[in-house]
């Protein structure tokens, strides 16, 4: 790398761009530590920040090869977060709805040239955050029960960590005979739920891509297990509302009145009407475009009184039942909504294909992030000065419906 050239370029940029360029150049420099491994091909920078960043590699140890992300830290605080994340991801290894740590010898060492900082290798999850997911979809009613179930499964993994082995197949989160743990992720916002792949042979993930929870840098284990589980259940509601409603982020939770907002629902066990306080805001609970049972369940997840909150066992049961519903079983408060237009397989497949699997130039993906990722002064994406030259758009298979021959589409994402 020509550092003299980089220095001259930095001097020619505005201050903000110069800082971005400096951090990206540092990421490129860090990448050279890993490119000594002949199994790793550097593909660019996945993210940069003042306290650390992430770089993207193609890992040839598997056939077919896979992409991995290596996170690095640049401060003592970030060091602690990264080590903490590694501890929790080791515990959660094997959980289907949790981002997975990748065995990589270099990731257990300190990176020279950056103040001797630790690194962490993670499985690359391709399709961006849930913010990108919902903003690409004009109709946010599609397969909402599935989204809730995946959030529930993330909480189930934290309560009953699978502790799988390295490179073992992922498995469905489940209860086990041991007492639950009070594991909390402690950062429930839309940038920490990532869209994964479709699984064509799995009913739950055959129509809408799987969601995975990432970033356990602030994770902790509470001694009060019940408190941890119910706090995680409340966070399911926080994230689900972000998913369900456009132009909403987690900041809405800051405006909850004392005692919560009043909400009335019918107790399914007794058939009686009940009234409770909930942190679910009126703009969600008054929505006429969400299945009434699903809306009740989310509002109860965010109940002020724990007695109004479903247990984790009840929540899993209700969420699984919701996913199994047929379109004609769904009841909207607005009787003018035709569930066949929103919950049947064909429109869902079409929507996901168009707005998720077929979307994604680098510039479009960059627009979903909080900071600039394209430096037009240098004509590079996240600078990527040392990145291997791209061979051009790669071919990848279009999502295959049953009994339909797949065709090919151009993948403009990072190869």
Domains along the chain with CATH numbers: 3-127+373-411 (3.30.200.20), 130-253+282-353 (1.10.510.10)
For the entire predicted model, the pTM comes to 0.75
For residue 384, the model assigns a pLDDT of 37
Query: Which range (128-137, 148-157, 217-226) has the least confidence?
Result: 128-137
Of the two residues 85 and 166, the one the predictor is more confident about is 85
User: Following CA atoms 70, 75, 76, 80 in sequence, which dihedral angle do they give, to the nearest 10 degrees?
Assistant: -30
pLDDT band at residue 376 under the 50/70/90 scheme: very low
Nearest alpha carbon to residue 314 among 300, 328, 329 = 300
Sorted by sequence, the CB contacts under 8 Å of residue 300 that are 6+ apart come out as 265, 276, 278, 308, 309, 310
Mean pLDDT of 154-171: 90
CA–CA distance, 254 with 250 (Å, rounded to integer): 8
- How far apart CA 211 and CA 194 sit, in angstroms, is 6
CA distance 38 to 113: 21
């Amino acid at each position: 790398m020509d550092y003299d050239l980089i220095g001259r370029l930095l001097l020619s940029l505005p201050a903000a761009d110069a800082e971005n360029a400096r951090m990206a150049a540092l990421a490129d420099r860090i990448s050279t530590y890993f490119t000594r491994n002949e199994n790793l091909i550097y593909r660019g920078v996945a993210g940069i920040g003042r306290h650390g960043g992430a770089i993207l590699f193609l890992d040839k140890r598997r056939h077919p090869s896979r992409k991995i992300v290596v996170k690095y830290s640049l401060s003592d605080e970030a060091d602690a977060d990264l080590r903490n994340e590694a501890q929790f991801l080791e515990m959660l290894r094997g959980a289907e709805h949790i981002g997975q740590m990748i065995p990589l010898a270099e990731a257990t060492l300190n990176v020279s040239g950056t103040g001797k900082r630790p690194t962490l290798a993670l499985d690359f999850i391709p399709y961006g955050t849930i913010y990108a997911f919902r903003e690409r979809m004009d109709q946010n009613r599609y397969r909402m029960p599935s989204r809730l179930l995946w959030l529930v499964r993330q909480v189930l993994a934290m309560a009953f960590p699978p502790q799988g082995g390295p490179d073992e197949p992922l498995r469905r989160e489940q209860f086990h005979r041991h007492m639950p743990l009070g594991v909390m992720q402690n950062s429930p916002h839309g940038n920490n739920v990532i869209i994964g792949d479709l699984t064509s042979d799995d009913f739950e993930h055959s129509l809408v891509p799987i969601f995975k929870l990432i970033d356990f840098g602030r994770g902790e284990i509470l001694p009060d297990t019940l408190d941890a589980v119910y706090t995680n259940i409340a966070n399911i509601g926080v994230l689900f509302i972000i998913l369900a409603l456009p132009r909403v982020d987690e900041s809405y939770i800051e405006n909850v009145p004392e005692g919560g907002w009043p909400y009335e629902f019918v107790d399914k066990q007794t058939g009686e009407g009940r009234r409770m306080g909930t942190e679910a805001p009126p703009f969600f609970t008054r929505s006429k475009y969400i299945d009434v049972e699903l809306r009740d369940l989310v509002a109860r997840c965010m109940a002020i009184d724990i007695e109004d909150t479903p247990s984790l066992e009840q929540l899993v049961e209700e969420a699984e039942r919701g996913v199994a519903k047929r379109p004609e079983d769904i009841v909207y408060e607005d009787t003018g909504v035709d569930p066949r237009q929103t919950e049947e397989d064909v429109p869902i497949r079409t929507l996901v294909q168009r707005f998720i699997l077929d979307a994604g130039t680098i510039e479009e993906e960059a627009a979903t992030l909080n900071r600039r990722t394209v430096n037009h002064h240098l004509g590079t994406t996240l600078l990527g000065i040392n990145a291997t030259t791209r061979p051009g758009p790669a071919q990848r298979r279009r999502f295959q419906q049953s009994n339909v021959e797949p065709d090919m589409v151009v993948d403009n994402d990072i190869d």
